[in-house]
Amino acid sequence: MKPEEILAEALRTLREGGTILYPTDTVWGLGCDATNADAVARIFEIKQRSDSKSLVLLASDLDMVAKFVKEIPDIAIDLVEVNDAPMTIIYPGAVCSETGDKWHLAASCVAADGSVGIRIPLMDWCRQLAFKLGRPVVSTSANISGEPTPQRFSDIPQEMKDAVDFVVPPSVDTQSRGKASQILKVGLRGEIEIIRK
């Protein structure tokens, strides 16, 4: 498949409420439309993970982030502008609902305190995926909960590859580092907490 055909198939799957296995700028991830509560529930099922844990989402840019959080702290804008490595920012005040719709994140994507972790990926393919979908994409590591995070496509368990609706061919994986992003939690008054370096 050509890159544009792969992107089109991934988008079709997401729009239809399906799940994908895809490369990101960090590690291979399981993904779905973050506004589709049923699809998000399927991700938790595939990972065999409790839905009490929130998920990291990918957004195309800060404009998209602004649609799904009540306010972007100024410090977050500064961090995104100077960032040159994968960085997930946990924002306060996610815009969500129990059922999810295209203007609200599925509640199971959001932490108990109402915050949500969002990364603007450095990998153009992932930014295009979120941009063309028009909504954030779930991005959780492609491993069973509690198992090591796969460093390469070949490390991903076959049961996980079989469980999703579409697997992006490994040929798209050009910038995946095989390493998780740093995670920073920001507050509305400029507070920063380092969750993971």
pLDDT tens, 76-86?
999 999 888 89
Overall number of domains in the chain: 1
Q: Is 133 helix (H, G, I), strand (E, B) or coil?
A: helix
CATH number (domain holding residue 106): 3.90.870.10
pLDDT category of residue 189 using cuts at 50, 70 and 90: confident
Name 160's Cβ contacts closer than 8 Å, sequence gap at least 6.
Answer: 21, 30, 46, 142, 143, 144
Q: Name the residue range of residue 139's domain.
A: 3-196
User: Long-range contacts: 10-18, Cβ < 8 Å, 24+?
Assistant: 10/129, 10/166, 10/168, 11/129, 11/132, 11/133, 13/165, 13/166, 14/39, 14/129, 14/133, 14/137, 15/133, 16/165, 18/164, 18/165, 18/166
Report how far residue 157's alpha carbon sits from residue 135's, in angstroms, rounded to the nearest whole number.
28
Write the burial class of residue 175 (CB in 10 Å: 0-12 exposed, 13-18 middle, 19+ buried). middle
Which tokens belong to 88?
Answer: 């997930």
Q: Which residue has the higher pLDDT, 53 or 188?
A: 188
- 57 closest CA partner among 84, 18, 30: 30
Q: Is 31 helix (H, G, I), strand (E, B) or coil?
A: strand
pLDDT tens, 4-58?
899 999 999 999 999 999 999 898 999 999 999 999 999 999 999 877 677 999 9
Q: Is 132 helix (H, G, I), strand (E, B) or coil?
A: helix
In the DSSP assignment, the letter for residue 56 is: E
Which tokens belong to 21?
Answer: 């296995």
pLDDT tens, 116-166?
999 999 889 999 999 999 999 999 999 988 888 887 888 898 999 999 999
Sign of the Cα torsion 116, 120, 123, 127 reads positive
Q: Residue 100's pLDDT is what?
A: 62
As a whole number, mean pLDDT of residues 166-184 equals 77
Report how far residue 95's alpha carbon sits from residue 102's, in angstroms, rounded to the nearest whole number.
11
